Structure formats: structure tokens, C-alpha cells
Amino acid sequence: QSALTQPASVSGSPGQSITISCTGTSSDIGAYNYVSWYQQFPGKTPQLMIYDVNRRPSGASIRFSGSKSGNTASLTISGLQAEDEADYYCSSYTNRATVVFGGGTKLTVL
Amino acid sequence: DVQLSESGGGLVQPGTSLRLSCAASGFTFNNYAMSWVRQAPGKGLEWISGITGHNTATYYTDSVRGRFTISRDNSKNTLYLEMNSLRAEDTAIYYCANSLHVVVPAAAEHWGQGTLVTVSS
């Protein structure tokens, strides 16, 4: 079960929009609409930001949105803020009834 | 408020066993699938096991299948992870998390604070 592929880092300036990609296969992202995105600050518990590709859980900021095309999912953060600086992880359900995470992306707000 | 609280972590020697527990409150426990996710020091998240809300099926990642056993007691609102034949590479913070779905252990909405398992001689 290979991890999903994410860029190690992305950066953007306040007010800009950034997109983090998450590439899987036809056995995970391409097969199901069970893609999730998590935000994690250093030393803190992960927080669900997007689930089922593009749904926001209660309390998540509307500046966060998700999408999927083929075997690749994306997280877009609009109106970037300093408080968005964190690590972001994607995950997907797989055809083996397991869940696989991406390696994580460190977002730096310049 | 939803609360998940893990316990049972600690320092153990390679080859030994440990049982983690996760006490849940604030939601209808048997309506949701549950997962165990771990994070090695300085590393990313790794999903290791899941169980359906009504205890009908269990799932494991390859690296723990045959060594770890997930279970739940819906009458006690508690999730468990029995870990056997522990290895150094199992050293991590172990989180329990509840899914937004009954069957699919995806979309971990709430997470516990985690319990640290250290496997070392």
C-alpha cells in the first residue's frame, strides 16, 4: 500500500490562493470519493478540513476547498492567512478497504 | 462535545505486547466506524487499522496485519488495539479517530490526544 504523493512543501503570500496536489492510483483516489484533507500544527492533533473530496465538516473555514480529477485530488486554500501555516495531509479509501495517507505538505506563508 | 481519550501507551521491549484503549463520549459510538492512526516522531500520518460501527468488519494496513487486532465494545463506548510482536518501527504516537461514516473508516472527524508507544530495548 503505497502512500499518496504530495509535494513536500508549498508556499504563498497572504491573500493569495495555493493548491496542494495529492496523486494516487485507480485503486484509491480514482476509485472512490473518499478523499480527505487534514491540517496539523506542530505538536498538535490533526484536524479534518475536507472530506468526501469536497465537503467541509462543521467549523472548517470556507477558504478551504477540495476537488478531484482522475487519480489526483487537490486542496485549495484561498485568501491565504498566516494562521494557515501548517502541515497538510491527504488521505483516501482504497480498494483493499484500507485508508492511505499522503506524505504531507508543509505550507509556508511568506 | 465529542471526546476521544487514548490510554495504554508506554515503553516496551521489542517482541512484547501492549493494549491501547480509546474511551469515547459525546456521540452515538456505534453509528461510526473508528480508526487507529499513528505518527512516528517527526514523520507523517499512517493509518493502521479500522473497524465498522457495528463491529461487522475490521481492516489493517499490511505492516501490522497479523500482529495487531482492533476491536470495540459498543456497550462501553471503547475502542481497543491489541499490539503483539512489537518492533522498533512501531514507535509512534497512536491516535484513535472516529469516521464520519458507519462502514468506511475514512474522514476522521475527531481525534484523541494520542498515546505514545516506544519500543526499545
pLDDT tens-digit series, residues A76-87 = 999 999 999 999
Arithmetic mean of pLDDT, B44-55: 94
Query: Three-state SS for B92?
Result: strand
Arithmetic mean of pLDDT, A35-49: 97
Q: How far is A89 from chain B (nearest CA, A)?
A: 8
pLDDT of the residue at B102: 84
Cα–Cα dist B86/B76, whole Å = 27
A66 in B contact zone (CB under 8 Å):
no
Cross-chain Cβ contact A98/B108 below 8 Å: no
pLDDT of the residue at A1: 66
Nearest to B106 among A57, A87, A93 (CB): A93
Q: How far is B14 from chain A (nearest CA, A)?
A: 24
pLDDT at B24 exceeding the cut of 70: yes
pLDDT at A94 exceeding the cut of 70: yes
Length of chain A equals: 110
Contact partners, residue A74, CB within 8 Å, separation at least 6: A19, A20, A21, A22, A66, A67, A68
Arithmetic mean of pLDDT, B108-115: 96
Nearest to A34 among B44, B57, B106 (CB): B106
Confidence band of A2 (pLDDT split at 50, 70, 90): confident
pLDDT at B6 exceeding the cut of 80: yes
Confidence band of B103 (pLDDT split at 50, 70, 90): confident
pLDDT of the residue at B106: 87
Cα–Cα dist A1/B18, whole Å = 25
Chain A: residue whose CA lies nearest to B61? A98
Arithmetic mean of pLDDT, A4-21: 97
What is residue B65's DSSP assignment?
B
pLDDT of the residue at A39: 98
- How many CA atoms lie less than 13 Å away from B98 in the CB half-sphere? 24
A98 in B contact zone (CB under 8 Å):
yes
What's the pLDDT tens digit per position in A53-73? 999 999 999 999 999 999 999
What's the pLDDT tens digit per position in B70-99? 999 999 999 999 999 999 999 999 999 999
pLDDT at A101 exceeding the cut of 90: yes
